[in-house]
Structure 1
């Protein structure tokens, strides 16, 4: 059972007391509007802060401290949920019930985190220039690596075209040229600004009560000047006005066909459980219509799958095809969705999809990190918790799935082909 506790102005703790795991966790999330100017700064800041603090001045000292805390970990987070950016840190640590009596980890871990976040290694009042430059290169490499994966690149291009003029068109990590322009002065100013203005969401899962966790986290914010400004809500277009088809050429050996659809259904919509069941029937998993009919029976795709973006109200179909199969594969993929709209779903298809989905939701309860992702998402878009979703899925009918399918409209069809095709 999740409990919500306000710790300070614009600082909220979501806490789950559980004895299910041998490790506890917490995440620290600065909630930011996703813009081109802010994206690279938001992505870079946690990595630079984790390079060193006043007390633990370099990565070696940080690593040694985490080893002293029985192998605890602290990593960076850069998540995009709809058009809200969550940037910060995720920590996990062994539960004290499994340590020698009197040994503590959680409180020292929070104290260690305080140093990383509020007392970084500064030079002349600025974030360490060497750390900034090193992490800039790492971030640029990460951005370029994603672009070199043509499956990822095609999905990003489709999203940029489909969501043109919307914040969702901006890559999660920003653009390499914008990262290259960041200075220590700009990143230091950004650090101070976000600590003052960004709403902060903390998540904790472990054996302590929510009140005990709150008592340890609350002093983090003593004396911190706060003037929080909430990010604007995500823009959700309920349907596509026209279908856009875009073809681009690149030096690739396999065509990438990506279809973007507007569902008009976000996680808070009553039809959301039906939408995710539809997605399981249509394109998620080895029993789905796209896998069985388009990939296996007709051999039109090397891969084909669909996924729902619950914060933005999108469904994305990704596939790999031969260059000369574009029109045939496109029509076959869209025809399977039309079949769902007509209710052409066998009992076997529905139950197989339902079992797969229930298994996936249950898996989301099996690790602290999965709980963190689900509940932090709920703080942005109110929705069912995993237990409620598990209660709703068994009751869904073909009629429910058809209703969700009929709300979907095709927006953008993107095809990446070879230079000579």
Structure 2
């Protein structure tokens, strides 16, 4: 059941007796227009996770969560196509499992009300001491990514592939923009975010909807006009491969590839793309895993993933430095095999069954259900479990061929290590 709290703020109930907990997700969504916007939103998310007027530090927040029978709470940021999301996530024990009757979900909503609407502020700026601490923590985290070479290589690949500067940075921003922010401008932006972002609230659990609706209605959101935004990021295909190389003192080199992949989310080729990706490099049955990693022993890992909201397919591999060309050639051969439709019937059936099994496992996750409900609202489309499974089962070899032919290699990034 979906309810509009005020214009631009929606509430989606997912009634379920399956879980012993109730979950609340509250998401602020807007189109990110600059690297600075991404940095602002990330630092704000961190600030609101650790302090408020009533709970001025992490200990006070932890104490309140303990009082709420060990409730969990956190904030996060992520990207969905052109949109940047700031998420508040909370989980509490279902009232039915408490010895004494208590409206724990209502208390959890009141807790969110405090953290969101009463931040720790002095003179129209976030508390400087807390702000400086969170700013340093975020910058330290960003600097630590260079030590995770797999994550570092993917980040550098995306920086090279995307033309829009906003998409060149991770969803949590970059250290240059984070370091330049002030407590006052963060608070000023937060006022804009509170007033203008689309807000999507999703709830899952076994609860009395009228009681929860009354509690949600107390959140101080004002009506806002949510403008029409383009969810999917698109960029013009390049005419040739652009190769980047960086050398570091490493034992294992990284060869990452980015393919232009014009597949629309829940569009004509969406389900065929899911099957194609699992065949190409997205599963242990895939061509990359079987032929590049296992049979040829040319990679420590080799996998693929795709983002239909940004229309890009990524391949990540860990290899020996002197095997770069062999690996690149073999990866392209695996793609060519799928374009040619050389797919065994049993392999295709196994891939479909694996996708459906993974999907069914995800359906048993309360957190996943809320994430999907938020995505359904953002995309203004919804697919039932039976429709999803039927669409996967309907994918043919010809469909896989058509999708594979859409993938065009545009950028390679080689983090070169030592020659063994």
After TM superposition, the score normalised by the length of structure 2 is: 0.94
Instruction: Identify if the C-alpha distance between structure 1 residues 193 and 117 changes in structure 2 by more than 3 Å, giving closer, same or farther.
Output: same
Q: Deviations over 1:346-397 (max 9, x none)?
A: 1222122112211221122111111122222222334553602123222222
Aligned to 1:132: 131
Q: Distance in 2 between matches of 1:385 and 1:211?
A: 27
Q: Distance in 2 between matches of 1:196 and 1:136?
A: 24
Instruction: Identify if the C-alpha distance between structure 1 residues 29 and 408 changes in structure 2 by more than 3 Å, giving closer, same or farther.
Output: same
**Equivalent of 1:255 in 234, 250, 253:** 253
Aligned to 1:372: 370
Matched, 1:30 2:28: yes
User: Structure 1 residues 256-265 or 3-12, which shifts more?
Assistant: 3-12
- Contact kept in structure 2, 1:248 and 1:417, CA below 8 Å: yes
Aligned to 1:206: 205
Q: Deviations over 1:264-319 (max 9, x none)?
A: 11222121011001111111121111111111000111100001112112111100
- Contact kept in structure 1, 2:231 and 2:309, CA below 8 Å: no
**Structure 2 counterparts to residues 199-238 of structure 1, below 5 A:** 199-208=198-207, 212-221=211-220, 224=222, 226=224, 228-229=226-227, 231-237=229-235
Q: Distance in 2 between matches of 1:273 and 1:384?
A: 14
Q: Distance in 2 between matches of 1:83 and 1:213?
A: 32
Q: Deviations over 1:54-104 (max 9, x none)?
A: 222222221111111111111011011112110131111111121124222
Q: Distance in 1 between matches of 2:244 and 2:220?
A: 49
Q: Which runs of 5+ in 2 are unaligned?
A: none
3-state SS of the aligned residue for 2:35?
A: coil
Q: Distance in 2 between matches of 1:312 and 1:286?
A: 25
Aligned to 2:352: 354
Q: Deviations over 1:7-43 (max 9, x none)?
A: 1121122221111111111111111222201111111
Q: Distance in 2 between matches of 1:108 and 1:281?
A: 47
Shift in Å at residue 239 of structure 1?
Answer: 4.4
Shift in Å at residue 419 of structure 1?
Answer: 7.1
Aligned to 1:72: 71
Aligned to 2:286: 288
Aligned to 1:169: 168
Aligned to 1:11: 9
- Contact kept in structure 1, 2:271 and 2:391, CA below 8 Å: yes
Q: Distance in 2 between matches of 1:418 and 1:372?
A: 42
Q: Distance in 1 between matches of 2:3 and 2:165?
A: 33
**Structure 2 counterparts to residues 237-386 of structure 1, below 5 A:** 237=235, 239-385=237-383
User: Structure 1 residues 296-305 or 257-266, which shifts more?
Assistant: 257-266
Shift in Å at residue 173 of structure 1?
Answer: 1.3
Q: Distance in 2 between matches of 1:230 and 1:200?
A: 14
Aligned to 1:193: 192
After TM superposition, the score normalised by the length of structure 1 is: 0.94
Instruction: Identify if the C-alpha distance between structure 1 residues 234 and 168 changes in structure 2 by more than 3 Å, giving closer, same or farther.
Output: farther
Shift in Å at residue 228 of structure 1?
Answer: 4.5
Shift in Å at residue 227 of structure 1?
Answer: 5.2
3-state SS of the aligned residue for 2:217?
A: helix
3-state SS of the aligned residue for 1:220?
A: coil
3-state SS of the aligned residue for 2:411?
A: strand
Shift in Å at residue 230 of structure 1?
Answer: 5.4
Q: Distance in 1 between matches of 2:51 and 2:29?
A: 23
- Contact kept in structure 2, 1:238 and 1:265, CA below 8 Å: no
Aligned to 1:105: 104
Shift in Å at residue 232 of structure 1?
Answer: 4.5
User: Structure 1 residues 296-305 or 258-267, which shifts more?
Assistant: 258-267
Instruction: Identify if the C-alpha distance between structure 1 residues 417 and 386 changes in structure 2 by more than 3 Å, giving closer, same or farther.
Output: farther
Q: CA RMSD in A?
A: 2.0
User: Structure 1 residues 384-393 or 268-277, which shifts more?
Assistant: 384-393
Aligned to 2:178: 179
